[in-house]
Amino acid sequence: MILTKENRNTIQRKLIWEALKRLNHPTADDVYLAVRENYPNISRGTVYRNLNQIAEKGELQKIPIPSGPDIYDVTLRPHYHIKCRRCKKIYDVEMEDLPDISRYITDKHGFVIENHEIVFQGLCPKCNKNGGYNNE
């Protein structure tokens, strides 16, 4: 018999959740630093454990970022990101909703698809301007 694990409402979890709501799309470390302002003894381990737990329940999106720490987002609507190949910075991307992108998958091996993330890559205006010199 498999039981759902109970989830306790600790102070730490509440503070983490509050930080999540007011931060933009923070990394685990951003959350850690934010919570620590009001609760200096919190540990990174606790932050990571809670973020994973909340994301596991589906109340939080954990978004992996190429060559960088995962970011978290409380808005469950998918939104996308773009990363500059040169300077490695991440930016948000505004995008009309694709008409059910998972429809395009021809073979999904029986997966139940829940969400997706798109990471675009290219050159940001600044890096593009500073010469395309090592582009090819």
Partner DNA sequence: ATACATGCAAACACTTTGCAGCACA
Partner DNA sequence: TGTGCTGCAAAGTGTTTGCATGTAT
Chain contacts with DNA (rule: CB under 7 A): 3, 5-13, 27-29, 39, 41-46, 48-50, 52-53, 67-70
Q: How many CB atoms lie within 10 A of CB 65?
A: 16
Stretch (H or E) spanning 128: helix 125-129
Residue 128 interacts, among DNA, a second copy, none and using kind-specific CB cut-offs from 5 to 8 Å, with a second copy
CB 121 within 8 A of CB 85: yes
Report in angstroms how near the CB of residue 84 gets to a second copy at its nearest.
7
Place of tokens 């930080």: 19
118 binds a second copy (CB under 8 A): yes
Angle between helices 44-56 and 11-22 (to 10 degrees): 70
**Could you list the residues that contact a second copy (CB under 8 A)?**
2, 4-5, 56-58, 62, 64-67, 70, 80, 82, 84-85, 91, 93-96, 98, 101-102, 104-125, 128, 131, 133-136
